[in-house]
Amino acid sequence: MSVPQTVGVRPARKRRAFSVARWLRTFGTLIGFLIIVAIFWQQRPTTFMTVTNWLNITQQVSILGVVAFTMTVVMVVGDFDLSVGTMASLVGIIAGTLFQNEQPVAVAVVAGLLAGALGGLINGFLVSYVGISAFVTTLGTMTIFGGLALYISGGTTIFGRVIPEAFGNFGREGLVLGSITIPNLTLLALAVLVLTWFILEQTVFGRRLYAIGGNREASRLAGVRVRFLRLLAFVVSGLGAAAAGLMLASRLASANPKQGDGLMLNAIAAVFLGMTMSEEGEPHVLGTLVGVLILGVLANGLTQLNIDSYIQQILTGGIIILAVTLSSLSRRGQ
Amino acid sequence: MNSLSAVSSGPVYTTMTTAVDPSPGTVLLAVRHASKSYNGVPALTDASLELRAGEVHALMGENGAGKSTLIKLLAGVLAPDRIEVEIQGRPATLHSPQAAYGHGLRFIHQELNIVPQLSVAENVFLGQRYPAWFGTLVRWRTLNRRARDVLAMLGVHHIDPSERMARLSPGDQMLVSIARAFAGDDSDNGSRALVYVMDEPTAALTGHEVDLLFEVINGLKARGSAVLYVSHRMEEIFRISDRITVMRDGRVVGTRHAADTHPGELIRLMTGRTLQQVYPPRQTPVGERMRLTVRNLRSHAVRADAFDLREGEIVGVAGLNGSGRTELLRALVGADRRLSGEILLDGRRVSLTPAMAWRNGVAFVPEERRSQGLVLSRSVADNITLPGLAWLSRGGMLIDRGLERRTSRSLGDTVQLKMIGPDQTVRELSGGNQQKAVFARALTRTTRVLLLLDEPTRGVDVGAKVDLYRLIRELSGQGAAILMVSSDLPELIGMTDRILIMRQGVLVDEVPTAGLTEESLLSLCYGETAHERSTDGGR
Ligand SMILES: Nc1ncnc2c1ncn2[C@@H]1O[C@H](COP(=O)(O)OP(=O)(O)OP(=O)(O)O)[C@@H](O)[C@H]1O
Ligand SMILES: [Mg+2]
């Protein structure tokens, strides 16, 4: 074949130089986290930096973690899910009600997870196939799930002897390794973390989710089934919310129609904190983990310092804004 | 005249504007020692350039040579590492787009920068004061009328100024961003800007639109402005420019008078190599087997009653901007909803969606690389393998990074994609290199049935274009059928066996390519004789 003559240059390959700004942008939030840890350590040298306290922290954040990790999946696609908090409450109530009707733990767990998947399916269908914005859709379903929880429970808390002992104990016990006990909830959160990391980073499914989040139209034209995958992402977050609702009910050995509601805002905050740690500002689950830990350590440390819980709330909000601001400032001007 | 046109089927380079010595003009803009590196990688090194009154100064160079980087420094959208600018002999700083505007510099950037939520007219006059009652109430009718006038000057009549920008096709959006550069000018009192910088303005234009743009440019010249003009189309460069500056690897390697040089020399300066052939000839005859049969195809924007593609055949789609070329491909692949239509792929009836198309060996290269082709935030490897993940992974489920990187590295080399490595973010590539990444996708699969290519070489440099042409030929030699839209008429004539003609959304004609000239093809696009066209202005 008569191929045009090629003489001389090959496409150049150059090495990327190290840049402080780039490094800070990626690791700034992590450094901030370490500074917070250092401050608490210095303030409470005997109680803060202990294995027991850290295991305690991981247990405290485990439920938030499960919601935040699965929320990451939805946010990777460029959507978000406001309904996870009330979904968690609703699933707690569903499980509690089944217990009242003397159903075994397995039935309650399966029913709870199914409810979560169904809720996610509804969200996903409305957003992806009907074309309503994620904000409006999940705002609506958030209200509906919250209302359902109140309606089913009659507005009361389910607790006491109706909750099977095995279910209530699970959230308080753990894996005993010699002198330390790793809480079951921590292990569960860890499992969800590994699973979502694997899905997002190692599977074709995850890769496509990131592509959709980056450019929906280009992904569609490149053969990605955008609508179906967006729907699946909502199912994942619905399942995560359900799991969190069950974990919460187990830990408290009770089900209150509002107990999960607060998870949603913190989960979104954790994902945002994590996003500051990525070059392109994409959500990623290890970043979310750092976000969750920041929130958890703040709560734990500030409580140890006897700081009023209202003030804690103000500080936490301020730190979130600070982190996101710093990261967007360092991104500018290039 | 030169080595390039001697073997190509087509272009005759006219040098109508270079008969007089272009040097007497005073220097309007001088740039010296312009340097810029991204994350420590130099993109522009010590570049210097002078623009004189009344000249069209072409800027050429391979993809990634640094042309757009230099232009972004002038436009104040990118902070330089070092630069000295003199405007009409006085030092100036161009630290912001407003500063550049204030100094009388106007820009047509390579990539679309529009505000999709605003109307066409608002986009045309973006950044300028809108006409208003009492300085506050915008006079929309006046604004729309002025926008219509600016567009009409470019021969664009099919765009409604009150339409929302987001509803326009990428091609039309490009026309609007071109119009923006002329929006502040008042041809009646002769007021105009000092310097116009145009980064590949014609990449999306066809025939007559190019002529009209050149008329506008000649008008600017006559009134003493300077034009800095980037293009990869050699025949345009010789048609419009007085001087030509060539860049290579971020440096200026030389400036020539258009009259004293020829394409062969420019290509040598740009690439260090010589091109012997632009359009490789067909090696194997068109096969007998029918690859694609289309009947009664309709979408909201197009109608095509019947056409077929045979094994190994390359068929072009020609038409003006807005004639439905793109929409024909989009309806075929299922990117737009089909209202009706029967599509047979290898004799099998299919109802294609983009996902099904890729799975069935149909590759689609969309018109606009950034909004429709690429996920800019992801790596080159991710982008190249996106449609092919099903077979570039372990069992279609698990990511195989090694395979992805090997594949994208070798495909990148095949299309001469200049990158740091497969992990580089696509956003960081130059425009032409982004285009190559989109093209490379079409090569990921080993069994290929049909390729739908919409402006596949838009923004690709002369040298790499030749490689893409060779690749397209090879694919057709292996039996793939290829349907190709292009505004570059010599390319259509050089590559295709037949050409489908689109007019106002309808497939109106089908002609064998043999014997076609640019002129006759253009007449077919207009559906009139060339004479009529020159008297009534086009539509
Ligand atoms: N945002 C960015 N980050 C990192 N590198 C970049 C960025 N933008 C451009 N570059 C690099 O700078 C070099 C010059 O790019 P530039 O866009 O100026 O090329 P160009 O001459 O305009 O090419 P083309 O003909 O393809 O438009 C390229 O190697 C490109 O990869
Ligand atoms: Mg460029």
Is pLDDT above 60 for A334? no
Distance A308 CA to ligand 2 centre (A): 57
For residue B132, is it left (φ>0), alpha (ψ between -120 and 50) or beta? beta
Nearest CA to ligand 1 atom 18: B66
Distance B36 CA to ligand 1 centre (A): 10
Per-residue pLDDT band for A249 (boundaries 50, 70, 90) equals: very high
Burial annotation B27-53 (CB, 10 A radius, 16+ → b, else e)? ebbbbeebbbebeeebbbbebebbbbb
**How many CA atoms does the CB half-sphere of A40 hold within 13 Å?**
24
pLDDT in tens, A129-176: 999 999 999 999 999 999 999 999 999 999 988 999 999 999 999 999
Q: Facing residues of B450 across strands?
A: B362, B481
3-state secondary structure B308-346: EEECCCEEEEECCCCCCHHHHHHHHHCCCCEEEEEEEEC
For residue A131, is it left (φ>0), alpha (ψ between -120 and 50) or beta? left
- A12 Cα nearest atom in ligand 1: 29
Interface contact B387, partner A, CB < 8 A: yes
Q: Which pLDDT does position B133 carry in this prediction?
A: 77
Is pLDDT above 80 for A23? no
Q: Which ligand is nearest to the CA of B430?
A: 1
CA gap A134, A123 in Å, rounded: 8
Three-state secondary structure call for residue B235 = helix
**Do residues B358 and B392 make contact, with C-beta atoms less than 8 angstroms apart?**
no
Q: Which of B59, B69, B270, B417 to mutate to test the pocket of ligand 1 (most atoms within 8 A of CB)?
A: B69
Three-state secondary structure call for residue B34 = strand
Is pLDDT above 90 for A14? no
Distance in Å, alpha carbon of A29 to nearest chain B alpha carbon: 21
CA gap A4, B467 in Å, rounded: 8
CA gap A320, A295 in Å, rounded: 9
**Do residues B463 and B62 make contact, with C-beta atoms less than 8 angstroms apart?**
yes
Q: What is the mean pLDDT of chain A?
A: 90
Q: Facing residues of B399 across strands?
A: B393
Q: Which tokens sit at A325?
A: 């601001």
Residues of chain A with Cβ-Cβ distance to B376 below 8 Å are 214-215
Provide the residue type at B460 as one letter: V
- Who contacts B309 (Cβ-Cβ below 8 Å, separation ≥6)? B290, B291, B292, B315, B450, B481, B482, B483
Query: Which residue's entry shows tokens 């105009």?
Result: B192
Give the residue from A93, A68, A83, A69 showing the smallest Cα distance to A124: A83
Domain layout of chain A by residue ranges: 51-259
Say if the Cβ atoms of B274 and A7 lie within 8 Å.
yes
Q: Which pLDDT does position B22 carry in this prediction?
A: 36
- Who contacts B457 (Cβ-Cβ below 8 Å, separation ≥6)? B435, B439, B465, B468, B469, B486, B488, B491
Least confident residue range of A95-99, A247-251, B13-17, B534-538: B13-17
> Among A16, A218, A225, whose Cβ lies nearest the Cβ of B372?
A218
**Burial of residue A294 (number of CB atoms within 10 Å: 0-12, 13-18, 19+):** buried
CA distance between the termini of chain B = 35
Residues of chain A with Cβ-Cβ distance to B170 below 8 Å are none
Is pLDDT above 90 for A7? no
* Torsions phi, psi for B278 (to 5 deg): -95, -60
Q: Which pLDDT does position A13 carry in this prediction?
A: 43
| Position with higher pLDDT, A292 vs B285 | A292
**Do residues B247 and B274 make contact, with C-beta atoms less than 8 angstroms apart?**
no
Residues of chain B with pLDDT under 70: 1-24, 185-192, 446-447, 528-539
Interface contact A7, partner B, CB < 8 A: yes
ipTM of the complex: 0.88
Interface contact A8, partner B, CB < 8 A: yes
Per-residue pLDDT band for A57 (boundaries 50, 70, 90) equals: very high
> Among A19, A207, A221, whose Cβ lies nearest the Cβ of B399?
A207
Ordered DSSP codes for A122-183: HHHIIIIII---HHHHHHHHHHHHHHHHHHHHTT--EEGGGS-HHHHHHTT-EEEETTEEEE
Say if the Cβ atoms of A5 and B359 lie within 8 Å.
no
Q: Which pLDDT does position B409 carry in this prediction?
A: 95
- Who contacts B116 (Cβ-Cβ below 8 Å, separation ≥6)? B164, B165, B166
Q: Which residues have CB under 6 Å of ligand 1? A: B 38, 43, 61, 63-69, 110, 418, 428-433, 459, 461
Q: Which pLDDT does position A1 carry in this prediction?
A: 36
Q: How does DSSP classify residue B252? A: E
Query: Which residue's entry shows tokens 């819980």?
Result: A309
